[in-house]
Every structure is written in C-alpha cells, then in structure tokens.
C-alpha cells in the first residue's frame, strides 16, 4: 500500500530504489490549496491600472469608468423654485390670507421668471418655477380656496404656511465647485442623469479593456454549428463563452471571442500567441488542470510565465494567472485561466476576474457587500474549502438552496439570485445566519 511504501522510502533515503523513483513521478506532491483572499491579493498585485482615456457622449457612457473627477460649474438647482403647483406668498401676509384672502398679482409657469412679489398678494406658481423675490413660502393649490373676482382671483388659505415650505433651495442638490462624480466610478444610469444636470454632454472614460476569450476542449461544439439532435457522441455545446463574454461586456470590456481551441499544445500556443498581440487580457476556460489533456499550463509557460493555483474554494479549484509576451514588442498580455466546469468558471470569474478587471480599469470601490440572511435549508456536509452555494431568496425572507450543487450544473446559477459564501468546513442548519452575495452585485 501507499503508506507502507513511503515508510520504506524514508528508511532507505540514501539510495532510493528504481521503484521509489517511479512512484515519486506518478504521485507528485500536491501543492497546498491557496485561500481566495491570498489569491486575490496576489492577482491584484499584477494589475497596474491602465490610463488611456477617451471622450464619449454621455448617452453612451453607461457602464464605463470615469477617467477624471467631474466638478460642477453651477449650483443645482440653479435658483430657489417651487416643489408644487400652488401659490407663493410672504408669510408676513398670513393672517390676511387666512381671514379674507390675497389677490393674485402674477402667474409664474416653469421656465419663466418673475421679479418681485407685490406685498399683500400671491403669485400663481407651478412646479419648478422660480420663487419671486419677497416670497418665502408656497401653499399647494389643494390647500387654497380660490374665488374669481372681477379684478382677478382672490386666494384664501385654509391653514397657516411655515417659512420655506414647498421651496427647493438653490444648490440643495449640488453646490458649484463640488466634485459630482469621482474618477474611477463605474457609471450607472443615475450618474448619467446627474452629469447631465450639471451640463455635461460628454465624459472622459477609460478606454475599454480589450479581452480575448477562448474556450478549450475537443468535446466542445458551438451552438448553431450543428442541430441539438446531431451532436456527435461525446460532444457538448460550449456554454462558458456565452456568459463570460456577457459578463465582460457588462464590465466595459471589448470582447473578441476566438474559435474553440483543440486540446493540443500547438493549437493552444497558436491561439494564445495570436490573442496576446492585440489584447490586454486573455481569458481561457478549460484545460487548466494538470491532466495529459490539459495544455494551457505548458502553452502559457512556453510563451511567457504562469502560476497555476489550486484554490481553496468550491466550485473553482484550478485557476491560473500568467503573462504572454507579445511578438515583436517588449510588452505582454495578462492571462487568466479558468476551470472548464461552467459553474466553476462563473464563480472564479466573479471572485477573481471581476476584481482584477476593476483594478486594471482603476475602479475604486470594487467588492461585494455581503448581506446576513437566514438559511431555509440544511447543509450538513460542508467541504473543507470555502464554498459558494447557489441560493435564491424566498418570499419568507430566507434563502433556498438549489438541490444540485455540482460544478457542472449551470441551471443552479441561472436559478440562483446569489451565492452563500460559506466558510471552510462550516455546516449550515435551517435558521442559521449566512453570508449572502446578491447576484446583482456579482455581475453588475
Ligand atoms: P476541463 O477543465 O477542460 O477539464 O473541463 C472540465 C469540464 O468542463 C469538462 O466536463 C468539460 O467538458 C467542461 N467544459 C469545458 N469547457 C466548457 C465550455 N466552454 N462549455 C461547457 N462545458 C465546458
Ligand atoms: Mg478540457
């Protein structure tokens, strides 16, 4: 048995027998598993932020990363204005307004300016219209009794207004000179609206990261290449490239999806070398274990350098980071090798590639804010590795677990609306508080 043989080898350490040598070749020592936190630190240390920026129209800037601080050149709102349709007055006139009413002396729609409010009168005013000088409150029209008179409307109030009521103050949203959106912010629809509110028609954003995506495996067939009922024996449709290219695009990358790479060293080398020349980052899936059919490791090593890690996470154990030298250039492309199993490649993308890309683009506040949630399931046999369980929020405010947590079952991810980040060897009982990563944060 293995145990007895290794004891023999120890006793015989000065002159190993041929048999011992053969054994050592067959079962190389397994490297210790690397924690996700360590892997992330090491990976991010390789990502120096890119600096090339370009100007884009504001309406095309969703998801892009802002290249400089944007400073307001005006106050927003730019003037005190009414937040309701109603009547503007000076509260010094309140008692008359309550007793006999005040005559209407002006009408101010949004977009129009009226100078002074005549003392002892009200101005008809609409939402967004400038408050006239001398007015200091607006009463909504529902709280006014309006009687038409030959000389014009007279407006009586049903209750006393408070100073400043229904007035939106100049600069209460944004002050002139204030930084409105910081460099390194990934722009969202709300940011675009905010930038428009200070008059920006275009913004300076980081140039898109150029990413080449390649799927390795002799068994892979592109959807559409053959009909589902004509798939050859042993073949499967390639799925990883579809979610990865979408996830990358959402992060602001320009993705080139390369043809499926066959499981030979030469094909793998050729695809990688070609991709390195005009991409910042190459992401591959599959072939990253250390089996005879796994050619990614030797291919990357022959073209640059590679670290192959066994991560202490499940799913997603094998992961590679490397660099591939560009032909005729003293520069290189980053390389990231993800596992082939679809769930593993999804999870490693979320936990490692996404932060790596954010660092390359100089995105400041990356990271998932985990939520404490209640497990509505049992997980009695945890793994020794940190697990990312596919779960979904239920209507009772707890989390349900997808029944099949296999790393090949992509349905678990499409069904899920998040992951439970479960510490190593931690069993879960119904009712326990667990750490929930909302899917929206993982893929945004
Ligand atoms: P590998 O990491 O190459 O050993 O692949 C592990 C498992 O993932 C195998 O079952 C592969 O068939 C599967 N796999 C690899 N690449 C893909 C892909 N692009 N789409 C779907 N499954 C894949
Ligand atoms: Mg493979």
Span 284-296, mean pLDDT? 93
CA–CA gap between residue 184 and residue 66 (Å, rounded): 5
pLDDT tens, position by position, 241-281: 999 999 999 998 999 999 999 999 999 999 999 999 999 99
pLDDT tens, position by position, 112-128: 988 999 999 999 999 99
Q: Which two tokens stand for residue 26?
A: 């067959």
Residue 285 near ligand 1, beta carbon < 6 Å: yes
Rounded to the nearest 10°, the torsion over CA 431, 434, 438, 442 is: -150
Residue 245 near ligand 1, beta carbon < 6 Å: no
Residue 66 DSSP symbol: B
- The residue whose C-alpha atom lies closest to atom 5 belonging to ligand 1 is 340
**CB-facing half-sphere around the CA of 102: CA atoms within 13 A:** 27
Rounded to the nearest 10°, the torsion over CA 114, 116, 118, 122 is: 50
Give the per-residue pLDDT at 366: 63
Give the per-residue pLDDT at 289: 87
Q: Sort strands 202-206 and 433-438 into parallel, antiparallel or unpaired.
A: unpaired
Q: Sort strands 281-285 and 332-338 into parallel, antiparallel or unpaired.
A: parallel
Residue 337 near ligand 1, beta carbon < 6 Å: no
- The residue whose C-alpha atom lies closest to atom 15 belonging to ligand 1 is 340
Residues 6 or more apart whose CB falls under 8 angstroms from that of 5 comprise 20, 23
The pTM (predicted TM-score) of the whole model is 0.87
Taking the centre of ligand 2 as the mean of its atom positions, its distance from the CA of residue 262, in whole angstroms, is 9
Q: Which two tokens stand for residue 418?
A: 């998040």
Q: Which ligand is nearest to the CA of 285?
A: 1
Substitution candidate for ligand 1 out of 247, 257, 285 with most atoms within 8 A of CB:
285
Decide: 386 and 407 in contact? Cβ < 8 Å: no
Decide: 303 and 269 in contact? Cβ < 8 Å: yes
Q: Is the dihedral of CA 237, 240, 246, 252 positive or negative?
A: negative
Give the per-residue pLDDT at 30: 73
Q: Which ligand is nearest to the CA of 319?
A: 1
Q: What is the mean pLDDT of the chain?
A: 93
Q: pLDDT category, 14, cuts 50, 70, 90?
A: very low
Residue 341 near ligand 1, beta carbon < 6 Å: yes
Residue 316 near ligand 1, beta carbon < 6 Å: no
Span 439-443, mean pLDDT? 93
Substitution candidate for ligand 1 out of 217, 268, 292, 347 with most atoms within 8 A of CB:
217
Taking the centre of ligand 2 as the mean of its atom positions, its distance from the CA of residue 375, in whole angstroms, is 35
Taking the centre of ligand 2 as the mean of its atom positions, its distance from the CA of residue 421, in whole angstroms, is 27
Helix axes 18-26, 2-11, angle to 10 degrees: 130
Residue 286 near ligand 1, beta carbon < 6 Å: yes
Q: Which two tokens stand for residue 332?
A: 């290189």
Substitution candidate for ligand 1 out of 289, 290, 340, 347 with most atoms within 8 A of CB:
340
Residues 6 or more apart whose CB falls under 8 angstroms from that of 291 comprise none
Q: Which of 336, 347, 350, 348 is nearest to 283 (CA)?
A: 336
- The residue whose C-alpha atom lies closest to atom 3 belonging to ligand 1 is 286
Residues in the chain, how many?
444
What atom of ligand 1 comes closest to residue 344's alpha carbon?
8
pLDDT at 372 over 50: yes
Span 203-224, mean pLDDT? 97
Which residue matches tokens 């007279």? 154
Taking the centre of ligand 1 as the mean of its atom positions, its distance from the CA of residue 218, in whole angstroms, is 10
Give the per-residue pLDDT at 31: 72
Q: Which two tokens stand for residue 321?
A: 């980071």
């Amino acid at each position: 048995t293995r145990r007895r043989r290794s004891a023999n080898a120890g006793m015989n350490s000065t002159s190993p027998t041929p048999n011992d040598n053969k054994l050592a070749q067959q079962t190389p020592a397994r490297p210790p598993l690397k924690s996700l936190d360590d892997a992330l630190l090491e990976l991010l240390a390789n990502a120096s932020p890119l600096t090339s920026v370009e100007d884009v129209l504001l309406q095309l800037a969703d998801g892009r990363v802002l290249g400089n601080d944007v400073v307001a050149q005006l106050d927003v709102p730019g003037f005190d204005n009414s937040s309701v349709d109603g009547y503007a007055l000076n509260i010094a006139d309140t008692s008359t307004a309550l007793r006999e009413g005040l005559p209407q002396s002006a009408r101010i729609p949004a977009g129009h300016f009226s100078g002074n409010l005549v003392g002892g009168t009200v101005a008809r005013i609409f939402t967004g219209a400038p408050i006239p000088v001398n007015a200091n409150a607006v009463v909504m029209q529902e709280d006014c009794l309006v009687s038409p008179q030959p000389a014009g409307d007279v407006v009586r109030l049903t209750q006393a207004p408070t100073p400043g009521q229904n007035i939106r103050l100049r600069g209460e949203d944004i002050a002139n000179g204030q930084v409105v959106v910081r460099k390194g912010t990934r722009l969202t629809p709300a940011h675009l609206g905010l930038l428009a509110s200070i008059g920006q028609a275009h913004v300076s954003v980081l140039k898109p990261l150029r990413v080449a995506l390649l799927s390795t495996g002799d068994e892979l067939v592109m959807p559409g290449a053959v009909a589902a009922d004509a798939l050859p024996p042993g073949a499967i449709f390639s799925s990883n490239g579809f979610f990865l290219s979408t996830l990358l695009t959402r992060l602001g990358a320009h993705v080139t999806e390369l043809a499926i790479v066959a499981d030979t060293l030469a094909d793998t080398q050729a695809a990688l070398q070609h991709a390195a020349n005009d991409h910042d980052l190459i992401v591959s899936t599959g072939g990253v274990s250390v089996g005879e059919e796994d050619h990614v490791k030797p291919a990357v090593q022959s073209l640059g350098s590679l670290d192959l890690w066994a991560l202490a996470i499940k799913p997603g154990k094998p992961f590679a980071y490397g660099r591939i030298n560009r032909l005729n250039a003293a520069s290189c492309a980053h390389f990231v090798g993800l596992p082939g199993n679809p769930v593993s490649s999804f999870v490693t993308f979320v936990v490692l590639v996404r932060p790596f890309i954010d660092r390359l683009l100089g995105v400041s506040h990356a990271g998932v804010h985990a939520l404490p949630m209640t497990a509505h399931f049992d997980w009695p046999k945890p793994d020794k590795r940190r697990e990312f369980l596919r779960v979904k929020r239920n209507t009772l405010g707890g989390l349900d677990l997808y029944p099949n947590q296999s790393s090949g079952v992509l349905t678990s991810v499409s069904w899920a609306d998040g992951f439970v980040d479960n510490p190593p060897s931690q069993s879960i009982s119904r009712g326990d508080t667990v750490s929930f990563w909302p899917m929206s944060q993982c893929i945004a």
